[in-house]
Amino acid sequence: MSFFSRKDRKKPTRLFFATDLHGSERTYRKFINSGKFYDVNILVMGGDITGKLLIPVIKEENGYRATLQGRTEHLSTETELQGLVERLGTLGFYYKIMEEGEFFGIQGDPAKIDALFHELARKRLEDWVDLAETRLKGTGIRCFVTGGNDDDPEVLQAIHRAGTEAFIACEGQVKVIDEDHTMVSVGYSTPTPWKTPREIPDDQLAEMIEKIIPQVSTLERCIFNFHDPPLDSTLDTCPMLDWSTDPPTPIVKAGQMVMHGAGSQSVRRAIEKYQPMLGLHGHIHESQAAARIGRTLCVNPGSEYGEGVLRGCLVTFAEGKVEGFQMTSG
Amino acid sequence: MSAVKPEIFTRKASGLVRVMSPYSAFIYNILTMGLIFPWTYLWAPGALPGGKLVWGILLATLLEIPIAFAYVWLSTALPRSGGDYVFQSRAFGGFWGFTLLMSGFVIWILQWVALSGWLLSYLGFAPLFLGLGATLQNAALSGIGVWFTSSWGIIVVSVLNALLSLVLLVSGFKNYVKVQYVMFYSILAAFATMLIVLFTTSPASFIQHLNAFAIASGGGANFFQTAVEATKAAGIDLHPPFSLWATLLVAPIAWTSVQWATYSAEQNGEIKDARSFKSQTFILVGSLIVTGILLALLAAGIERVGGSEFLAVSGAGYWSGVAEAKISGFWLWPNILAVALTASPIVVIIIALGYILNSFQIVCNCYIGVTRIMVGMSLDRLLPEWVSRVHEKLHTPVNAHLAYFIASIPVIFLYNLYPKWAPLTLGVTFACGYVFAASSLAGALLPFRAKEVYEASPGARYKLGKVPWVTILGGIGAVFGFAMVLSYLVVPALGLVSTLAYSVVFGIIAISAIWYFLAKRAQKARGINVDYAFKEIPPE
C-alpha cells in the first residue's frame, strides 16, 4: 500500500523566471546572481530585454548635462558622472557622452537615433552574455533567454552566440530543461498601440505556436515560455488604450479608465488545448498574477525594472507536476 | 511660446498605465481622514479642559507633515500597491513588515469596519430622521431616528454597509472611483453647509435654537441650562483656564484623523505618476494640509457659536457621562449642532447625506487598503494562496474581500453588544499609528537599507549637506509618531490604559508574530523559503 511505502521521488527541479527587464543593468545582474541566491538549476528570462530610453550626456564647458526624469542635471565632476551612469543602468536607460554639435546632429534624424539605439542595445546584450558566461561558469546553472515584442530582431542577434556554456538563446526552439521536462519559447506578441518591433496578428501567433508544438514529445511535461499572457487570465489586466494618439492614451468612460485583458487568445487556446505543466508569461508589467487554466499553472511576475527591483517567480517541479511556486521581489 | 523639447531619445516600446489620477488619490486621502468625523470636538474638551482645539488640530497637522513627506520619498522610490507593507518589509525585513501590518492594519482595521457602521447609523441615518422629525414635527420620523441608535439598528446597518461595500469593490475598482467623486462632493457640500451654519448663526440665538431642537426631538424645556447645571454639578469647570499641556495633548486626538493622510500609499501601484515627487507631494502633503485647515475651521466655528461653555457641556456628555448633556441620547456632535441651529429640512438632508456617504466611504477604504496588503502577504506566502486569487472577469481580489467581510462580522457584534469593546476603538488609532510611525522610520532608513532603490528614486537628489532629507524628515516623523503612540498607552485622558486594552493591543501583536513563524514553517515544509520574498539579491 502506498500509504505505508515511500515512493522514490525524483529531486525536483527549481526554476527562477523573470521578464521585462528592459535594459536594466542592475536588475540583470541580480537575475544572473539569483541562480545561486535562490538555489535554482534553471534561469529563464522571458523577453523585452532591451531598453526604451537613450540619454545623451552632453559635454559642457564645465562638465556635462543630462535630462533624467524630467529634470536637467548639470554634472561638474567625474564622480557625479559616474553616479549618473549607475542610475541610468538601474533604470535601464542607455547613454552616450557627446558634444553639443553631435547631439543636435542626431536629434532631428530618426534613422540616426535608431542606429544609435541598436548599437548601444547590441553592446549591452553582448556584455550580458559575457556576464552570464562568467558568473555561471561551473555552477551547473543554465540561463535561457528569449526576446519579447519590444526587442528589435536585429539587436536580438547579439544573444545568439555559438559555443556558450550557460547562456542559451531559446526562442522558437524546444529546449531540454532536465531529463523529464522541456520548454518552448515564443517572444512575439499580438499588436499593441505602441507598434513595437515584434508584433503579429493573433492568428499568426497561433500558427507560430502550432508550428513548434509538434516538436514537443510530452506536452504535460512541457513549459510554455510565451511572452504574451493568455487572454483574460488576470495575468493580462491593464487599461484599455486609444491607439490613435501618440503616445497611446487610456480610454475613459464615465470619468473612469476602462480596464481589460490585453493578452492573446491564441496563447490561451494553446494552453487550454495542450495543458502544459507551466506557462511563463510577461508583457503586462502591472499585472503580476498566478492563475490556473485547467491543470496548467500560468505566472506573470510583473516587472519593476525601473526601481532596480527584480520581480520573479520561483517554481519547483518534478515528474510533470508543479510542487510549489513563489513570487519574489529581489 | 513652444515647449522646450526634452533632451532624451525614445523608441517605440510598450508602457505601463495606471488607473488612479493624482487628484483622485488626493480626494481619497481627504475622505480617509474623515473630514467630518468629530471625535476631537467632544473628546478633547471633555478629557483635556483648557486645551485649545484649533491649536491642537493645527499642531497635529504640523507633526504629521514630516511623516507625510517620508511617505513621499517612500512612494516615489517604491510606487507599489501594499505601500506600508512593502516599505517596512524592505527596510526592516519580513518579520517586522508582516507583524506590524498584520496587527496594525489587517486585524485592527476590522474595528474600523464596525466603527464605520456605527458612524453610518448613529451619525448618518439617526440625525437625518431625528432632524427631519424635529423640523417637520413628525414623531414617527424621530422614532426611526432613535431605532438607528439602538444596538440592533447599528448592527443591521453595519452589516449592510460592509456588504454593500463588498459588492461595489468586487464589481471593479473603477466603479468605486466613480462613486468616490459623488461622495467627495457630497461630503464637501455637507462640510461647507456646517461651516456656513456655524459661522452665520448668531451666538446670541444659539441657546434658543438648541433648546427648541431639544424640545422638537422629544426632550424637555431649557435643555442647555439644565445641561450646564448638570455639568457644574459633576465638578466640571465651564471656563477652564488655558493649559499648554492640554493643548499639546489635543494633538494625539486630532491625529486620529490626520494620521490617515498617507493611506493612498496602499494603492501606489494604481496611481498615475506615482513616481513623480510633485504628484506624491500633492497627494500626501497637500491632502493633509487641506484637511488640517478644514478641521481647524470647524473647531473655530463651534467655538465661535457655542463658546467655551458649550464645549465644556458637550465634552461632559461624551467624556464624563453627564446624561443631561445629550439630546435624545445623542452627544452634541458638530452635525447635531448644525442641524439644531437650522430649521431647514434641506440643510438636515445635505448634512446627513455627507455623513452617510463619508461613513460608507470609510468602510470602502478599509477594504481597499487591507485587501491590497492581504494580496501582497499572500503572494509572499504568509497568507493562504487563495487570498491573492484575482477574479478573471472582475479583475478584483474577490477572495480577499470575502475573507475580510466574514472576519468583520464578529467584530461588528462585539462592538455593539459587548460594552467594554467600544472603548477599544482608540486601539485602531494606536495600532495604525505605529504602522505610520514605523513607515516614517523606514523612510529615514531607506537610503541605507535599500540603497539602490533610493539612489534610483527622484528624491535621492534632496540632501542637507550629505544627509538625505528623507532621513531627517523620516526620523523627526518617527519620533513624533511614536511619541503620540506611546501617549495613548500612558495618558489616561487618551484612553488605552485598561488591562483589557493592554491585553488586546499586545495580544494582537503576539498573534501576528506567531502567525509569521507558523506560516514560514508551513511553507518551508513545501520547499518554499518565505525569506526569499524580502531578500534583495546583491547585483555584484
Q: pLDDT for B274-311, tens place per residue? A: 778 888 999 999 999 999 999 999 999 989 988 888 88
Record: contact B527-A12, CB cut-off 8 A: yes
Record: contact B527-A327, CB cut-off 8 A: no
Q: Which residues of A touch B380 (CB under 8 A)?
A: 327
List B residues 247-306 in contact with A (Cβ-Cβ < 8 A). 269, 275
Residue B518, chain A, CB below 8 Å: the answer is no
List B residues 142-181 in contact with A (Cβ-Cβ < 8 A). 172, 174-175, 177-178, 181
The four Cα atoms B483, B487, B488, B492 give a dihedral, to 10 degrees, of 180
Record: contact B19-A314, CB cut-off 8 A: no
Record: contact B458-A65, CB cut-off 8 A: no
Q: Each residue of A204-231: pLDDT tens digit?
A: 999 999 999 999 999 999 999 999 999 9
Looking at residue B359, its pLDDT comes to 85
Record: contact A330-B275, CB cut-off 8 A: no
Give the phi and the psi of residue B86 in degrees, each rounded to 5: -65, -45
Bridge partner list, B467: B464
Q: Which residues of B touch A291 (CB under 8 A)?
A: 389-390, 392
Contact A183, A15 (CB under 8 A): no
Residue in chain B closest to A198 (alpha carbons) equals B13
Q: Each residue of A84-134: pLDDT tens digit?
A: 888 887 778 888 999 988 998 888 888 898 899 899 999 999 999 999 999
Q: Is the pLDDT of residue A168 over 70?
A: yes
Record: contact A256-B174, CB cut-off 8 A: yes
Q: Each residue of B454-500: pLDDT tens digit?
A: 877 888 889 898 899 999 999 999 999 999 999 888 888 777 777 88
Looking at residue B170, its pLDDT comes to 87
Q: Which residues of A touch B387 (CB under 8 A)?
A: none
Q: Complex ipTM, two decimals?
A: 0.75
Please give, rounded to a whole number of angstroms, the shortest distance from the CA of B16 to a CA of chain A: 7
Looking at residue A2, its pLDDT comes to 43
Band of residue B371 on the pLDDT scale cut at 50, 70, 90: confident
Record: contact B533-A328, CB cut-off 8 A: yes
Record: contact A53-B8, CB cut-off 8 A: yes
Domains of chain A: 13-51+126-329 (3.60.21.10)
Please give, rounded to a whole number of angstroms, the shortest distance from the CA of A173 to a CA of chain B: 25
Q: Is the pLDDT of residue A48 over 70?
A: yes
Interface test with A, best of B11, B18, B175, B389 (most A CBs within 10 A): B11
Give the DSSP letter of residue A299. Answer: E
**Once rounded to an integer, what is the mean pLDDT over residues B192-221?**
86
Residue with grid cell 454593500, as numbered in its chain: B164
Q: What is the mean pLDDT of chain B?
A: 85
Residue in chain B closest to A35 (alpha carbons) equals B537
The CA distance from B52 to B242, in Å, is 7
Residue with the bigger pLDDT between B257 and B393: it is B257
Give the DSSP letter of residue B19. Answer: S
Residue in chain B closest to A327 (alpha carbons) equals B379
Residue in chain B closest to A37 (alpha carbons) equals B537
CB neighbours of A34 closer than 8 A, spacing ≥ 6?
A16, A18, A40, A43, A310, A312, A330, B537
Residue in chain B closest to A251 (alpha carbons) equals B19
DSSP E strands, A78-180: 94-98, 142-145, 167-169, 174-176
CATH code at B23-528: 1.20.1740.10
The CA distance from B497 to A139, in Å, is 59
B8, B19, B452 ranked by CB distance to A239: nearest: B19
Q: Which residues of A touch B529 (CB under 8 A)?
A: 326
Other Cβ atoms closer than 10 A to B28: 28
Q: Is the pLDDT of residue B269 over 80?
A: no
Residue in chain A closest to B89 (alpha carbons) equals A329
Q: Which residues of A touch B172 (CB under 8 A)?
A: 259
Looking at residue A307, its pLDDT comes to 66
Band of residue B37 on the pLDDT scale cut at 50, 70, 90: low
Least confident of B94-103, B180-189, B246-255, B511-520: B180-189
Looking at residue B44, its pLDDT comes to 87
Q: Is the pLDDT of residue B538 over 90?
A: no
Please give, rounded to a whole number of angstroms, the shortest distance from the CA of A100 to a CA of chain B: 11
Band of residue A4 on the pLDDT scale cut at 50, 70, 90: very low
Q: What is the number of residues in chain B?
A: 540
The CA distance from B67 to B70, in Å, is 5
Looking at residue B102, its pLDDT comes to 93
Contact A228, A188 (CB under 8 A): yes
Record: contact A232-B393, CB cut-off 8 A: yes
Please give, rounded to a whole number of angstroms, the shortest distance from the CA of B28 to a CA of chain A: 15
Cα angle B119, B120, B123; round to 5: 60
Size of interface A-B (CB pairs under 8 A): 167
A87, A113, A254 ranked by CB distance to B9: nearest: A113
Record: contact B15-A254, CB cut-off 8 A: no
Domain assignments of chain B as residue spans, ordered by start: 23-528
State the Rg of chain A over Cα: 21
Q: Which residues of B touch A309 (CB under 8 A)?
A: 78, 453
DSSP track, B338-380 = HHHH---HHHHHHHHHHHHHHHHHHHHHHHHHHHHHHHHHHHT
The CA distance from B133 to A290, in Å, is 55
Q: What is the mean pLDDT of chain A?
A: 88
Please give, rounded to a whole number of angstroms, the shortest distance from the CA of A215 to a CA of chain B: 31
Interface test with B, best of A233, A237, A309, A317 (most B CBs within 10 A): A309
pTM (predicted TM-score): 0.75
Looking at residue A225, its pLDDT comes to 97
Residue B453, chain A, CB below 8 Å: the answer is yes
Record: contact B8-A67, CB cut-off 8 A: yes
B17, B390, B526 ranked by CB distance to A289: nearest: B390
Q: Cell for A209?
A: 505556436
The CA distance from B380 to B89, in Å, is 11
Least confident of A18-32, A101-115, B77-91, B349-363: B77-91
Nearest to B30 by CA among B195, B264, B354, B192: B264
Q: Which runs of consecutive H residues, i.e. helices, occur in B220-286?
A: 223-233, 244-258, 277-280
Q: Write the single-letter amino acid at B233.
A: A
Please give, rounded to a whole number of angstroms, the shortest distance from the CA of A116 to a CA of chain B: 10
Q: Is the pLDDT of residue B60 over 90?
A: yes
CB neighbours of B27 closer than 8 A, spacing ≥ 6?
B180, B181, B184, B287
Record: contact A308-B12, CB cut-off 8 A: no
Q: Which residues of A touch B390 (CB under 8 A)?
A: 234, 237, 289, 291
Q: Which runs of consecutive H residues, i.e. helices, occur in B78-108?
A: 83-92, 94-101
Q: Which residues of A touch B535 (CB under 8 A)?
A: 37, 330
The CA distance from A299 to A223, in Å, is 11
Give the DSSP letter of residue A217. Answer: S
**Once rounded to an integer, what is the mean pLDDT over residues B372-393?**
82
Please give, rounded to a whole number of angstroms, the shortest distance from the CA of A303 to a CA of chain B: 10
A194, A308, A326 ranked by CB distance to B12: nearest: A194
Residue B419, chain A, CB below 8 Å: the answer is no
The CA distance from B58 to B62, in Å, is 6
The CA distance from B410 to B36, in Å, is 27
Most confident of A83-97, B1-15, B150-164, B349-363: B150-164
Please give, rounded to a whole number of angstroms, the shortest distance from the CA of B64 to a CA of chain A: 27
Residue in chain B closest to A38 (alpha carbons) equals B532
- The continuous run of DSSP H or E covering A318 comes out as strand A311-318
CA A30 to each of CA A271, B39, B519: distance values in angstroms, whole numbers, following the listed order: 30, 50, 27
Bridge partner list, B161: none
Nearest to B57 by CA among B293, B287, B246, B302: B293
Bridge partner list, B267: B81
Bridge partner list, A59: A64
- The continuous run of DSSP H or E covering A238 comes out as strand A237-239
Q: Which residues of A touch B389 (CB under 8 A)?
A: 291
Record: contact B16-A285, CB cut-off 8 A: yes
**Once rounded to an integer, what is the mean pLDDT over residues A228-252?**
78
